[in-house]
């Protein structure tokens, strides 16, 4: 309607040669006293002049329509852009950062019972579960009555023990050998054997890629929370023994996988990098999932993850250390209800033990810490006079045992794994 009115007005103005009113009052007055000049009628105008006027009007109308169309397109594009950047849009992985909180534990006491008094100094080996101790005489574990005894038949492993004692205990035997590359030239390589405990005392090599000993330069080895040993070569993960299938391959953020962890339900969570940022994520089957799941770690690069443990079905905890601004910062990285979380702590953790209810025991420096399922931290008071503490979790996760030196003698104490529960009387069960 507006365009039709504009067209009629323009045609009327051009045909009648309309003039602009004067802004000068005197000029206006003089003009009013003059006799009007006779104007020719439209019928008297030449036909060519009338056709030219109509062509000018049509050109003006077309130009106006073009401007309106371009404005409409621009407006629609603006609406689309605002929708894409709205609250429902998924931010890029590098824009999502794992939050960091500083742990501020409270002081707590628990009931300790004396579980053993070895005749020589012992220390527990750091395993996910199971009681295994080392002394000058050999290895000690629990007998059928639950007593800590020396087991002279246990073969000494030629490497660091990992896993769960005695049902899923492993070590990786590593040797440096001379191998040949594809051109026939010699080079120093790493030869590996994956050794598993059999019959609670003997170490037996397990096959990987059809061999009991293999050359591996980049393989990463982790105990499978769902059983067996997991060997990662780039993004492919193979389960050795364990009686269940290999984990599925996962799409991930960045260019390379740094490390991984398996949950008790068999899920694989990854830490990856694009050489500028490190990312954490749950397992994904496609790119859209990976883009949505990946979250950046703060401080960009320089992270390492020496310890890990699975909690309940889908939760995990890892010791996480990063070098930033010439300082080493220590953290615990968790995936649990609410997503990924980083907790800053004041020293490097040297052991992680998960409890049945989703809690966590940690040795931090010379202190023993406990995290309850709700994320509350407490520093647990050690038995009086206890120093040089090492710890182990019973296979059923009902108790935490600690070995320490008290008054120059080795003593083993035990306490209930759920430290958030009220302390019982000393000596209670």
Domain ranges of the chain: 99-416
* Paired strand residues for 129: 164
Question: What average pLDDT does this structure show over 3-17?
Answer: 39
How far apart CA 293 and CA 96 sit, in angstroms, is 10
pLDDT 10s digits, 212-233: 999 887 899 999 999 999 999 9
- Tell me how long the chain is: 429
pLDDT 10s digits, 78-109: 433 333 333 344 455 657 999 999 999 999 99
pLDDT of res. 390: 98
pLDDT 10s digits, 38-58: 444 444 444 444 455 555 545
Token pair, residue 61, equals: 């109308």
Of the chain, the percentage scoring pLDDT greater than 90 comes to 67
In angstroms, the Cα distances linking 315 to 47, 77, 110, 303 are 89, 43, 26, 20
pLDDT-based confidence at 163, cuts 50/70/90?
A: very high
3-state secondary structure 120-180: CCCEECCCCECCEEEECCEEEEECCCCCEEEECCCCCCCCCCEEECCCEEEEEEEEEEEEE
In angstroms, the Cα distances linking 53 to 2, 39, 269, 399 are 20, 17, 76, 100
pLDDT of res. 419: 87
Q: Give CA torsion, residues 138, 142, 147, 151, to 10 deg.
A: -30
Identify the residue with better confidence: 249 or 355: 355
pLDDT-based confidence at 7, cuts 50/70/90?
A: very low
Burial class (CB in 10 A: 0-12, 13-18, 19+), 342: buried
CATH number of 99-416: 2.130.10
Question: What average pLDDT does this structure show over 330-340?
Answer: 97
pLDDT of res. 66: 57
Q: Is 245 within 8 Å of 238 (Cβ atoms)?
A: no
pLDDT 10s digits, 270-329: 999 998 999 999 999 999 999 999 999 999 788 999 999 999 999 999 999 999 888 999
Identify the residue with better confidence: 393 or 9: 393
């Amino acid at each position: 309607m507006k365009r039709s009115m504009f067209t009629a007005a323009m045609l009327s103005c051009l045909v009648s040669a309309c003039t602009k009113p004067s802004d000068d009052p005197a000029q206006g007055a003089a003009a009013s006293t003059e006799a009007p000049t006779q104007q020719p009628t439209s019928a008297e105008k030449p036909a060519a002049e009338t056709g030219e006027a109509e062509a000018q009007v049509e050109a003006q109308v077309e130009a106006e329509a073009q401007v309106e169309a371009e404005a409409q397109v621009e407006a629609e594009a603006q609406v689309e852009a605002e929708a894409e950047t709205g609250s429902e849009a998924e931010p890029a992985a590098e824009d999502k950062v794992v939050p960091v909180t500083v742990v501020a534990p409270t002081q707590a006491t628990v009931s300790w019972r004396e579980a053993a008094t070895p005749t020589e100094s012992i220390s527990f080996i750091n395993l996910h579960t199971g009681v295994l101790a080392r002394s000058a005489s050999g290895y000690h574990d629990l007998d059928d009555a639950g007593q800590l005894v020396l087991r002279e038949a246990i073969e000494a492993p030629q490497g660091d023990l990992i896993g769960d004692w005695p049902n899923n205990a492993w070590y990786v035997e590593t040797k440096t050998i001379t191998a040949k590359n594809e051109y026939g030239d010699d080079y120093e390589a790493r030869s590996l054997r994956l050794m598993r405990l059999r019959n609670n005392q003997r170490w037996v090599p397990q096959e990987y890629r059809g061999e009991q000993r293999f050359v591996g330069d980049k393989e990463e080895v982790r105990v499978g929370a769902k059983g067996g040993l997991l060997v990662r070569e780039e993004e492919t993960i193979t389960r050795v023994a364990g009686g269940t299938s290999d984990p599925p391959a996962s799409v991930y953020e960045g260019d390379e996988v740094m490390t991984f962890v398996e949950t008790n339900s068999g899920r694989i969570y990854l830490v990856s990098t694009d050489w500028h940022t490190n990312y954490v994520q749950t397992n994904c089957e496609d790119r859209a999932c990976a883009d949505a799941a990946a979250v950046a770690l703060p401080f960009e690069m320089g992270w390492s993850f020496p310890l890990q443990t699975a909690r309940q079905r889908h939760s995990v905890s890892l010791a996480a250390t990063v070098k930033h601004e010439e300082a080493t910062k220590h953290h615990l990285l968790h995936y649990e209800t609410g997503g990924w979380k980083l907790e800053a702590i004041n020293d490097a953790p040297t052991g992680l033990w998960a409890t049945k209810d989703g809690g966590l025991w940690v040795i931090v420096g010379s202190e023993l810490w406990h995290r309850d399922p709700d994320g509350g931290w407490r520093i647990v008071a050690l038995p009086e006079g206890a120093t040089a503490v090492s710890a182990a979790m019973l296979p059923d996760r009902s108790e935490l045992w600690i070995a320490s030196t008290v008054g120059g003698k080795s003593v083993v104490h035990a306490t209930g794994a759920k430290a958030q529960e009220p302390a019982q009387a000393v000596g209670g069960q």
